[in-house]
Amino acid sequence: MPPERYKPKTFEVLVTEVIQETPDTVTLVLDAPTIPPYRAGQFLTIDPHLFPVIAGQVAYVEHLKGGKKELVRAYSMASAPHEPLAITIKEEPYRSGDLHAPLLSPLLVYGIPVGTRFPVVGFTGPYTLPPDIEQRTDHVVHLVAGSGVVPNYSIVKDALRNHPKLRHTFIDTNKTWSDIIFREGLARLASEYPDRFRLVHTLTRHVDISGLPPGVRQGRVVPELLREFVPDSGTAFAYLCGPAIAAWDRKKALQEGTAPTPRFLESTIANLQAVGFTPARIKREAYG
């Protein structure tokens, strides 16, 4: 298993397949002559300056930000290390009041055909299971929202194969049924590993869930839901990934003298602690 941290390498990838996961999300399957090793849950980065089609927008955003160079964007691996390399990108929407329209994700979702080549830098990131996880717990609880499902999908596929003593509860929050990324892949895992993989979809804006499969819930991840599915909150480990308060949200709130509004990550951590998870058993990845 490669270490959590080593100097990431730059290598060129070729897009061999584009899989439409939901209307605003695609998986890019990537190939390269040599792919460095990675651990499930890690990410690679892509530099928005690489693509001439958005060069003008990048320059304009840099102008808006006082000449500060735009940073690379991180994308978690959707693949487990035993599978073909793949990343999954959800288009970030423009919200009224945002400083600028999102730069890279619309291009990756709608503008990258099979055969495209571009360099990436990988791999890195501490959002991984420790090698001795089976000595620490027998239950990993995955709490994900939107594209936050990506690294946990990699982690769970890897763990089901390589950590036979672990069982998983996978609580996936989305707005509606059609927003669920990897819906079929997750259902397949649930039927392949009925004793070790429990899947819960919870939908925050789906008005009528009566036609959906049993087990689908409405609403957010509240303490009651956690108590129902995680009675062993004193020994389970939680892996959370999803939207979090961004640096600029904090800055804006500070300027206005208010507290930033908690997003998925902050409110779920508070709820995990309310039902008995200690901070040492909560691992998080923020997509802020």
Ligand X SMILES: Cc1cc2nc3c(=O)[nH]c(=O)nc-3n(C[C@H](O)[C@H](O)[C@H](O)COP(=O)(O)OP(=O)(O)OC[C@H]3O[C@@H](n4cnc5c(N)ncnc54)[C@H](O)[C@@H]3O)c2cc1C
- Beta carbon nearer to ligand X, 62 or 134: 62
Q: Is 95 exposed, middle or buried (0-12, 13-18, 19+ CB in 10 A)?
A: exposed
- Beta carbon nearer to ligand X, 167 or 264: 264
Query: b/e map of 20-54 (b: 16 or more CB within 10 Å)?
Result: ebbebbbbbbbeeeebeebbbbbbbbbbbeebeeb
Shortest spacing between CB 282 and ligand X, in angstroms: 17
CA-to-CA separations, 262 to 29, 90, 173, 237, 245, in angstroms, rounded:
34, 21, 16, 22, 6
- Beta carbon nearer to ligand X, 97 or 214: 97
Shortest spacing between CB 272 and ligand X, in angstroms: 20
- Beta carbon nearer to ligand X, 55 or 274: 55
- Beta carbon nearer to ligand X, 99 or 207: 99
Shortest spacing between CB 150 and ligand X, in angstroms: 4
Shortest spacing between CB 222 and ligand X, in angstroms: 25
Shortest spacing between CB 77 and ligand X, in angstroms: 8
Question: What residue ranges bind ligand X (CB under 6 A)?
Answer: 43, 65, 73-76, 88-90, 92, 95, 98-100, 102-105, 125, 147, 150, 248, 285, 287
- Beta carbon nearer to ligand X, 65 or 161: 65
Q: Which two tokens stand for residue 284?
A: 């998080």
Shortest spacing between CB 255 and ligand X, in angstroms: 12
